[in-house]
Structure 1
Amino acid sequence: MPAPTHPHPYSETLANGLRVTLRHAPGLKRSAAALRVAAGSHDVPLAWPGLAHFLEHLLFLGTERFPGNEGLMAYVQGHGGQVNASTRERTTDFFFELPVPSFNAGLERLSDMLAQPRMNLDDQLREREVLQAEFVAWSQDSSAQQQFALYKGLPADHPLRGFHAGNRDSLQVQSPAFQKALTDFHQQFYRTGQMTLSLVGPQSMTELRQMAEQFAAALPPGDKFTQTAPPPLTANSYQQVNDQRSNLLFAFDALPAPSAEALAFLCHWLNSAKPGGLLAYLQQHNLADGLKAGPIYQFAGQALLHLELATAGEHLPAIRELLLDWLSFFARQDWAPLREEYTALLQRQQQVSGALQLARIDVEQQALGLCESGVAALKHVLHEIGVVDNFSDHWHLPAANPFLRASEPLANAGLIRGQTSAHRGLRTFAQDRSRSRRERSPMHFSQALPDNSDEGAIYLRWQVEAAASADLHSRLQRSLRQTRQDASDAGVDLSFSAAGNQWLLKLTGLQEPMPTVLEHALKRLTTIDADSPRGEAQTPSMPIRQLLEALPGKCLPPSQTSDDAKRLWTTSRWDGLALGLNPQTQSAMGLALSRIPGTPDSQLPLTPHSNGQYRWSQIDTASSEHALLLLCPTASCEMTDEAAWRLLAQLCQTPFYQRVRVELQLGYAVFSALRQLHGTTAIVFGVQSPTTSAVMVLEHIQQFIKAIPDLLEKLDEASFTQLRQSLVAQFDEAALSVRDAAELLWQGKLAGHSSDYREQLVAAIGQLDRPAVQAAAQRLINAEGGCHCLANEPMPGAPWQATN
């Protein structure tokens, strides 16, 4: 197994009380910060439910030094980064990721908004309406209500039983008492002693520490405040039953300190679907289709362990007995091999984690495995549950993850092992060094990314005669479930999608296990039959996410459906792209490549570009909330059009959010972004609203689009140049992760571009001038590339046309 590239972080407490963790990760392309405040929804006065969540929202509205359009969110979005925040029971987290050159400016904005919030009354009134919209959606969302109902078995005086989201009634903004409570809460908790800052990036430890000290200097100093301990949970267990789900819950009090890592270790093995385990037994005996175990609350020695089961309530008594039987078996096993594998998979996951993931891991102080004190804590947990000495003899520990074992080195890296006549023409880097001519091999080993890192990417695409039926699609996904989980544990993200007549298998992450993962995945996908198990029922996600999930399939021409997997594989045609793979990994792929079903074809047709139509797809989301996506493709496949579209998308992000969410208050799920789907570049606008119909939301989006030329006019020349330069910087080779660079190049291949697509795109963006972007904005307004709307409501009249 490759050695982890990211060592344990360094931690210290600075002179003013701020606790910092620093991780120097030279292989990263970006830097990230995660700031945890030891205060959450359970720490607010009982009179003002939702105050902590409300304050989190207010902090993003700008300061005197950095107003809203220059604040953290706008800055991060303008530099192609990620930013978000989260309020939980006892903590509030703020986190962001940026390219290295702009990272320090992001830290300045974070410290300023934490220390110097503006707290303007008008801002508060507007933001309260956002929380009201979230509350309305929460109160109507069945999965959210089920989550809230899980706590009904707890003592009535425990804060988990209370309401903490906040709404128009609980957030009495104009009340002096509320304003005092808000100010007091901020002054009491938003100080150095209550905070932990995690910084991760390729900068040296000296640089990271200097940034941490500068960050700390801007914050109000203060000692740590001891959060009030909650009343006892009164250790017990209870159960709840819903329509398709059943829940078992175990409450714990006075757990030892390492109980968090003990519960994480236990849940990892509880969730395993491998033969011999609890889930496999439940599935085999038709007692449950799925099991998901995890802690849903942990604080001050208390914990609530939740087991969600896809089963009818009538099976719950039998499942409880089987669970106790399995736990009793598990308690008597030698955990040494499980601990070793668990540590290895955590190391693998950290090895492929980006800066933001690592920063969040560090701020949570997650253990890298199960230490000896964690073993004692796990024994304590199992004792509290009530394990016994007698158990059934049909249980056994799960088989070892096949992808965590290092593969044998291969002798000749210049040849592809297992190549057959059906795959004649496959080449390695050594066999084809030409980047200028069109690649004619069905599997192209691209040189567009360097092959000297631990990571890589593999894309395999099939064009099939017909779309997979819903049942076939479910069985294909189900067939990969265990392989996908093992691959993820070994540092490889494996996904399979079947959108229309385009099927895609994608692997990204650590390249060393990829050949073996690919071989296993192909075997699983091509051996399903009519008797393959069906997938478990899924809890519907929020409507806007359902639209995003449906979007790739709706962007392809409609086709007939089929349930005959064998025929679809046999008659398919395939091609692929591998990026960042070193010669050894390429050679190891030979056997897997020889087993790819279908006929190799290096000349698969491009996806047809939109013909300028106004298309409407209605998606049933089973929700009373209104949700809409508007997809606006480029008017042509020309690189200049794509460059201008990307600049427009960059320009629109913050103003669209400000207009739709803050000023109009149409909804709380609001975004605009550039998307590439099957090689087509488009700007996507998305809104979910509890009160405004999809048609009205569409009108507001169209009004915003018509105002884009005015946004451009308001930019002075320096701001326009900065906008263009920040966009160019996002595609710098030094800033793109292997995963992001690979996805960009794959989309370029689907669009028919050559392997120097990134370089051509950067050049095209750099040459954009104001008239070119204004002309592109007009093409966007005129919908010269067409428009495609996905909504959970019926289509309006002309010019819209319904699609399947």
Structure 2
Amino acid sequence: MIRRLNLNGLAVTLVHQPDARDAAALIQVKAGSHDEPDRWPGLAHLLEHLLFTGSQRWPDRDRLMSWIQANGGRVNATTLARHSAYFFEITAARFGDGLARLHDMLCAPLFETAAIKQEMAVIDAEYRLLQHHVPAQAEAALFSLVAEPHTFHRFQIGSADAFGANVVALQQALRDFHQRFYVASNLQLWLQGPQSLDDLAHLAQRFAETLPQGQVQLTIPPLQLLPEMKPHAMLSEGVAQYWHSWILDAQWSDNVTLLREFLLDDAPGGLMASLRQRGIASEIELKWLYQSDKQLWLVAIFTTEQPDRLSQSVQHALQAIGETCEEQQMHYLQLAQQRFNALSPLEQLRQRVLGFAPAEPKRFHAFIAALQAAPSATLFCSNAVYSNKALGESVKTQGFELSLAPRETAPQRQSAVTAFAFYPLKTELICSPLPTAAVTLLHLASDKAATLILRPEFFSNLSESGEACAKRLRPLFATLRHVGGGGEWREAQGVWQLTLRLPDNQKLADWALEQVADALADNRSGSDPQQPESIAIRELLKRLPQHLTSASSPTCWRAVLCGGSEALHHVIARRLATFSLPVNPLLRSAPLSSRSGVSRIDHPGRDNALLLFIPLDQRHPLAALRALAQIYEPRFFQRLRVEQQIGYVVSSRYLRSADHDGVLFALQSPNLSVGRLLQHCKRFLRSLDNEIATLDIEALKTQLRVDESNAALTALRREQGLHDMTQTSIDALTLGDLQQLHTRLTNQRRRWRVLFTAGR
């Protein structure tokens, strides 16, 4: 249920989501990087940072970011070309308190000189980090093909050099920008949660009552590409990619999500299945490059080394999509709605405002025709495009220095048009006979569709073949989506896990499980070498699971079924008996200690990054660890990121990785050595001894929440003697438990797991 209001000049959208546990807010300002004065490139980005550093009512720890972190929520912001957005998610009971803090940070920022200097340094470090970030370079390369407006070429991230040394002048520029654009008529507020529409409206009314008033008048010049522009190729590191973009009139916005659903479909007969089968491309991503009230710039990013063959296939696919009937379009729109419904309240709001929320298509055939005729810019990125940088022209744009050269398209023989097939389709399912034997399969009652969870034996993983399995299972999952089911094979908490959603159709379930059995029995890695993440700390997070467990090859599978009929349960249990590894053997999983030690991870970046994982000793309650992590998170950020400015990545949180529970500390710095970063972690832990001894344990316990999002996996863990945090364990928690565990985490350093990269 949705309600739209205008309150005191503020445009408000309210979304009632009765099944949600949390509530989310997003406020968008119609001002971004393109609205900055030419004198101050990066000003909008700096303002975004500064608003989180304190406001009149909440100048310090209790401000929005610290308060959200302390209460287990999520908060973030983004600065785009024509918009800036601030958003958070928190439990419904604390939503009003969060909105009050959001209001104060937007309306009454402090703009303190010390905070400005601090955030200038952070943004400067972020700018240096992005110099080696291939997606940022690719966007800048596409923006270099724009003739008007000139703001597409202007430096937008911000840096110490761009901001300059005159902090007083910069402070005044920030105030002027804020005063001009942060007024009610230039803001849009979205609220979503389990509260009734009337309750949400009351919260919105309180938010709007004291917003500053004013009118903003802007003339946004139309986006135009360079005349007679030719596609360009960029010399860059990383996987070869082809960026194909279209500039559209904003009237077509309601059709883009439906187009995206057609293009993302992995089922046999669709574009991606055809591209993979012919070895042309392996992945696709759609994103917005630019959004204004009148124009949209959409890009499809393909992983490919054959841009010319790909371009021809995309043209054929668009032609076929443009010929689909209304029944097919409504079918794919339903799939887009299902994808959207699976998101959290916060992610739904972000898609509504900044991404791809489902909408009833308007003149879809005309939209496809307009897309094919739209101004288009393409970019081929590959480290193999030119072996000599001198062959490319050095172009400076948006603070990047890029090697660009015209890409001449190879002459193409007119190939036969690919035959595409769109759902709904009638498919004949053929299965081998079921065995008489059946595995022991835990069956949990549920009124939702049957969902099978299958994962490797606890404390083991599929380090080599997990990615290859994901590729083999992709067509199956896509086919199931078209018949009311679906599935995922992905790393969950550092372990590859199958989540298979099945309609209550025994033949279909049996067929799907047989496809899964074949995919998992094929233990070939079959994957291309994985490129490292461009940001060092992300690479360390990706590597952590394999460095915690010594068992990379499982001896069995563990499975549980949630929902579905008894007859379906029996079919699944029999089919699971045909898997190449035993499923649910009677022998219980044996808990293994996590591997400790220090490991250096090779990474091409120039920063020093540190990942410290401190595992929980099983003799201590998980509730104590979760409570300590909640204490560490805001304090770690405040002291090392805000007060000491250690680096631009400063994070601490609870983490379960490869079945090991622990607390994580992550740091990345362009200046400090790995040894210094580790010393800061040690010093931080030691500094909390007295503070933990004086905590209000009862108040802390009210902030802990039992995770009810995956009852099936929780039941499977319990069956194997592995427990999760319960309300009973929270109620039993004492201050002594926290002190004892904190001392153990701090002092038993031989159990620590440290991963690091050292800049070059």
Normalised TM-score (structure 2): 0.84
CA distance in 2, matches of 1:41, 1:358: 24
CA distance in 1, matches of 2:166, 2:245: 42
Q: Equivalent residue for 2:744?
A: 779
Q: Which shifted more, 480-489 or 352-361?
A: 480-489
Mapped contact 2:701–2:731 kept (Cα < 8 A): yes
Q: Equivalent residue for 1:684?
A: 664
Q: Equivalent residue for 1:801?
A: none
Q: Equivalent residue for 1:430?
A: none
C-alpha deviation, 1:304, in angstroms = 3.1
Mapped contact 1:276–1:395 kept (Cα < 8 A): no
CA distance in 2, matches of 1:366, 1:214: 29
What is the correspondence of 1:451-470 to structure 2 with a 5 Å cutoff?
Answer: 451-452=446-447, 454=448, 458-463=452-457, 470=464
Mapped contact 1:626–1:688 kept (Cα < 8 A): yes
Q: Equivalent residue for 1:336?
A: 326
1:423 counterpart (415, 429, 438)? 438
User: 2:250 corresponds to which letter in structure 1?
Assistant: A
Shift in alpha-carbon separation, 1:742–1:10, aligned structure 2, 3 A: farther
C-alpha deviation, 1:164, in angstroms = 0.5
| SS of the residue 2:560 aligns to | strand
CA distance in 2, matches of 1:751, 1:790: 30
Mapped contact 2:287–2:355 kept (Cα < 8 A): no
1:609 aligns with 2:632: no
CA distance in 1, matches of 2:469, 2:172: 57
| SS of the residue 1:658 aligns to | helix
Shift in alpha-carbon separation, 1:467–1:185, aligned structure 2, 3 A: closer
Q: Equivalent residue for 2:81?
A: 89
CA distance in 1, matches of 2:718, 2:206: 42
C-alpha deviation, 1:267, in angstroms = 3.8
CA distance in 1, matches of 2:507, 2:85: 38
Q: Which shifted more, 675-684 or 80-89?
A: 675-684
1:396 counterpart (411, 415, 419)? 419
User: 1:792 corresponds to which letter in structure 2?
Assistant: T
| SS of the residue 2:343 aligns to | coil
| SS of the residue 1:422 aligns to | coil
Q: Equivalent residue for 2:642?
A: 662
Q: Which shifted more, 220-229 or 143-152?
A: 220-229
User: 1:626 corresponds to which letter in structure 2?
Assistant: N
Shift in alpha-carbon separation, 1:336–1:541, aligned structure 2, 3 A: farther
CA distance in 2, matches of 1:597, 1:550: 27
| Pairwise CA RMSD | 3.7
Mapped contact 1:25–1:202 kept (Cα < 8 A): yes
What is the correspondence of 1:305-454 to structure 2 with a 5 Å cutoff?
Answer: 305-312=298-305, 315-331=306-322, 333-364=323-354, 368-384=358-374, 394-400=417-423, 421-424=436-439, 426=440, 443-446=441-444, 451-452=446-447, 454=448
2:559 counterpart (572, 576, 585)? 576
Mapped contact 1:457–1:508 kept (Cα < 8 A): yes
1:78 aligns with 2:62: no
Q: Which shifted more, 27-36 or 618-627?
A: 618-627
Shift in alpha-carbon separation, 1:64–1:366, aligned structure 2, 3 A: same
| SS of the residue 1:459 aligns to | strand
Deviation by residue 1:753-793 (Cα, 9 ceiling, x = unmatched): 3xxx54xx322322333233222211111127811112224
CA distance in 1, matches of 2:506, 2:74: 28
CA distance in 1, matches of 2:476, 2:527: 16
C-alpha deviation, 1:161, in angstroms = 2.0
What is the correspondence of 1:32-431 to structure 2 with a 5 Å cutoff?
Answer: 32-155=24-147, 157-172=149-164, 174-223=166-215, 225-226=217-218, 228-233=220-225, 238-242=231-235, 244-252=239-247, 255-312=248-305, 315-331=306-322, 333-364=323-354, 368-384=358-374, 394-400=417-423, 421-424=436-439, 426=440
Shift in alpha-carbon separation, 1:608–1:319, aligned structure 2, 3 A: closer
C-alpha deviation, 1:129, in angstroms = 1.1
| SS of the residue 2:437 aligns to | helix
| SS of the residue 2:358 aligns to | coil
C-alpha deviation, 1:680, in angstroms = 2.6
Give % identity: 27
2:604 counterpart (597, 618, 622)? 622
CA distance in 2, matches of 1:780, 1:375: 61
Deviation by residue 1:444-475 (Cα, 9 ceiling, x = unmatched): 2246xxx24x47754213349997574x4442
CA distance in 1, matches of 2:325, 2:680: 59
Shift in alpha-carbon separation, 1:198–1:375, aligned structure 2, 3 A: farther
Mapped contact 2:609–2:669 kept (Cα < 8 A): yes
Shift in alpha-carbon separation, 1:365–1:135, aligned structure 2, 3 A: closer
Q: Equivalent residue for 1:411?
A: none
Q: Equivalent residue for 1:674?
A: 654
Shift in alpha-carbon separation, 1:498–1:553, aligned structure 2, 3 A: farther
CA distance in 2, matches of 1:487, 1:792: 41
Mapped contact 2:340–2:357 kept (Cα < 8 A): no
CA distance in 2, matches of 1:663, 1:265: 47
Q: Equivalent residue for 1:3?
A: none
C-alpha deviation, 1:150, in angstroms = 2.6
CA distance in 1, matches of 2:59, 2:360: 45
Shift in alpha-carbon separation, 1:630–1:508, aligned structure 2, 3 A: farther
Aligned residues: 714
1:707 aligns with 2:704: no
CA distance in 1, matches of 2:569, 2:470: 26
C-alpha deviation, 1:503, in angstroms = 6.7
1:633 counterpart (600, 615, 638)? 615
Mapped contact 1:643–1:765 kept (Cα < 8 A): yes
Deviation by residue 1:582-607 (Cα, 9 ceiling, x = unmatched): 76874674565455442230324223
Shift in alpha-carbon separation, 1:303–1:204, aligned structure 2, 3 A: closer
| Structure 2 gap ranges (5+) | 377-412
Deviation by residue 1:297-354 (Cα, 9 ceiling, x = unmatched): 2324333343433333xx43444344334434444x1342431122111221233222
1:26 aligns with 2:18: yes
User: 2:307 corresponds to which letter in structure 1?
Assistant: L
Mapped contact 2:453–2:499 kept (Cα < 8 A): yes
CA distance in 2, matches of 1:513, 1:119: 61
Mapped contact 1:618–1:792 kept (Cα < 8 A): yes
C-alpha deviation, 1:516, in angstroms = 5.3
CA distance in 2, matches of 1:539, 1:230: 38
User: 1:396 corresponds to which letter in structure 2?
Assistant: A
CA distance in 1, matches of 2:750, 2:22: 34
Mapped contact 2:654–2:664 kept (Cα < 8 A): yes
C-alpha deviation, 1:141, in angstroms = 2.8
Mapped contact 2:132–2:534 kept (Cα < 8 A): no
User: 1:788 corresponds to which letter in structure 2?
Assistant: R
Shift in alpha-carbon separation, 1:595–1:131, aligned structure 2, 3 A: same
| SS of the residue 1:108 aligns to | helix
Q: Which shifted more, 103-112 or 478-487?
A: 478-487
User: 2:558 corresponds to which letter in structure 1?
Assistant: D
Shift in alpha-carbon separation, 1:28–1:264, aligned structure 2, 3 A: closer
Mapped contact 1:634–1:645 kept (Cα < 8 A): yes
Mapped contact 2:598–2:754 kept (Cα < 8 A): yes
CA distance in 2, matches of 1:48, 1:584: 68
CA distance in 1, matches of 2:217, 2:652: 40
Mapped contact 2:26–2:189 kept (Cα < 8 A): yes
Shift in alpha-carbon separation, 1:173–1:378, aligned structure 2, 3 A: farther
Mapped contact 2:148–2:224 kept (Cα < 8 A): no
What is the correspondence of 1:727-742 to structure 2 with a 5 Å cutoff?
Answer: 727=704, 730-731=705-706, 736-739=707-710
| SS of the residue 1:505 aligns to | strand
CA distance in 2, matches of 1:384, 1:675: 46
